[in-house]
Amino acid sequence: MDRKYIIAGNWKMNKTPAEAKALLEEIVKANAGKTACEIVLCVPAIDIPAAIEATAGTNIKIGAQNVHFKDNGAYTAEISAAMLKECGVEYVIIGHSERRQYFGETDQTVNLRTAQALANGLKAIVCVGETLEERKDGITFDLISIQIKRAFKGISAEDMANVVIAYEPVWAIGTGETATNEQAEEVCCFIRGLIAELYSTDVANAMTIQYGGSMNAKNAAELLAMDNIDGGLIGGASLKAPDFTTIIDSVK
């Protein structure tokens, strides 16, 4: 089954608009015309206009790092799906572990944000993953199962075509500690099986499932060669054009 590989960068709270423009110009130049995977950069909200301009007419897509679940209203500092869409954003990360850890994101708000993103024509990169404590307690699969069942409650099979799931073990994010190829594959395979149970084998087989957690220029090729890993969500290494390019080139 040919699935779409997606290499997505998550810049987190890094790069001013001018810095974003410069880095994107480097990334665009290094990756012009590549078709083995979809290339997405999820930039800080303030950088979005500069990012859209720097990537216009190229093979690089722009994503946001969050979206609010209401259409509009008294939600100071929040950004709506319609605002993102109008700016030219195609993807949005939802439920990143840093949002869950520091900003009170829950499985329920992940569900609401996912529904809102999809209803507005955005593609959702929904993050799931266990903490080190949860892995040590042997509840990784239970936890992932709950996160997924809640994240996609009420989301139709048709809408799942615009969903990417990123498996990001929390203990591997920004720590330099990567899950082994086998650990990452085991959970991504479990996720695909769960999607098959909840929807259908067709939906599961078509779904892009990424691994994220200290993926870098050195370990990307092995991780991306695993059967159920169809791309990466990349933090630190997406801030360096040569490293991010090597990861893109690791997709076979």
- Catalytic residue ranges: 96, 168
71-110 residues near ligand PEP, rule: CB under 6 A:
96
Q: Given the complex with ligand PEP, which of 6 and 215 has the nearer CB atom?
A: 215
Minimum distance, C-beta of residue 97 to ligand PEP, in the bound complex (Å): 8
- Specify whether the CB–CB gap between 232 and 28 falls below 8 A: no
Q: How many chain residues bind ligand PEP (CB under 6 A)?
A: 15
Minimum distance, C-beta of residue 94 to ligand PEP, in the bound complex (Å): 12
Out of 47, 105, 130, 168, the only residue in the binding site for ligand PEP (CB under 6 A) is 168
213-242 residues near ligand PEP, rule: CB under 6 A:
213-215, 233-237
Out of 174, 201, 225, 242, the only residue in the binding site for ligand PEP (CB under 6 A) is 174
Minimum distance, C-beta of residue 198 to ligand PEP, in the bound complex (Å): 24
Out of 40, 173, 194, 220, the only residue in the binding site for ligand PEP (CB under 6 A) is 173
CA 21/CA 47 separation, integer angstroms: 8
Residue 11: burial class (beta carbons within 10 Å; 0-12, 13-18, 19+): buried
Say how far residue 226 (Cα) sits from the centre of its chain: 18
- 169 in contact with ligand PEP (CB under 6 A): no
Torsion of CA 116, 80, 165, 162, to 10 degrees: 60
Minimum distance, C-beta of residue 225 to ligand PEP, in the bound complex (Å): 18
Q: Given the complex with ligand PEP, which of 231 and 235 has the nearer CB atom?
A: 235
Q: Given the complex with ligand PEP, which of 31 and 216 has the nearer CB atom?
A: 216
Residue nearest ligand PEP by beta-carbon distance: 235
Q: Given the complex with ligand PEP, which of 174 and 242 has the nearer CB atom?
A: 174
Q: Which of 133, 182, 162 is nearest to 38 (CA)?
A: 162
- 8 in contact with ligand PEP (CB under 6 A): no
24-63 residues near ligand PEP, rule: CB under 6 A:
none
223 contacts: CB under 8 Å, gap ≥ 6: 178, 181, 184, 211, 215, 229, 232
**Which residues would be at the binding site for ligand PEP (CB under 6 A)?**
10, 12, 96, 168, 173-174, 212-215, 233-237
